[in-house]
Amino acid sequence: MDEMVKKALAKWPAVPHCYGWLGLDARGDWYLRDARAQAAGAFGSGPVAARGSRLEHAGLIGFIKRNYAHDEAGQWFFQNGPQRVYVELQATPWIWRVALDGAVHSHTGIAAAVRQVHTDEQGRVYLQTSDGFGLVHTQDVLTVADALEAGRWPAPQPLLAHELPARFGYVPSPLALSVELLARNPSHD
């Protein structure tokens, strides 16, 4: 986490959290979701308009990557100074890129070691790594196949996509969870 973020948290510890305004797609791209995008539907499974605007500013993307983390409930967020901006996930909290030599890096640039390979009923490929669970970028699936064929990684284990969040402890939509919790306990602020 950036030093300036740590200082802002210490100075303003009670800034309200932000939900629904940032998304991470299945290719590791970040999206800013204004009110119009949020009104169009859910980020992960809604229409393309629900994604919002793809972020392209390298400095902003770098700042988000350096300050990307998760809470104890498995909700992923970007710590923007004193404000926690929860991330809507189209797929998983990590999107893995796999180099031809088998090196694995997250969409945030973190290197990881492969522990397990999984596939779902739609043929998507996932890696359980030293840094967590995530989807393999579509452009790298053939590289994973080569690593499997060469015996460098363990044989893939099948999983059902709808079971992934519970099994690997992440929340795809912190916004939906916050709405659900508020509906259960309307007196909670």
- pLDDT tens digits in sequence order for the chain, 189 residues long: 777 767 666 665 677 899 999 999 999 999 999 999 999 999 977 778 889 999 999 999 999 999 999 999 999 999 998 899 999 999 999 999 999 999 999 999 999 999 999 999 999 999 999 999 999 999 999 999 999 999 999 999 999 999 999 999 999 999 987 777 667 777 655
CA angle 184, 188, 189 (to 5 degrees): 135
**What's the domain range around 13?**
3-91+170-184
The token pair at 36 is 């119009």
Model pTM score: 0.89
* 154 lies in the same domain as 176: no
Position 138 in a domain: yes
* 98 lies in the same domain as 151: yes
* 42 lies in the same domain as 60: yes
Please give the helix or strand (H or E) that residue 94 lies within, else none.
strand 94-98
* 20 lies in the same domain as 32: yes
CA-nearest of 177, 155, 22, 152 to 93 is 22
Burial class, 183, CB count within 10 angstroms (exposed 0-12 / middle 13-18 / buried 19+): exposed
Burial class, 158, CB count within 10 angstroms (exposed 0-12 / middle 13-18 / buried 19+): exposed
| Backbone φ and ψ of 157, nearest 5° | -110, 135
Give residue 136's pLDDT: 98
Give residue 28's pLDDT: 97
* 161 lies in the same domain as 174: no
Position 180 in a domain: yes
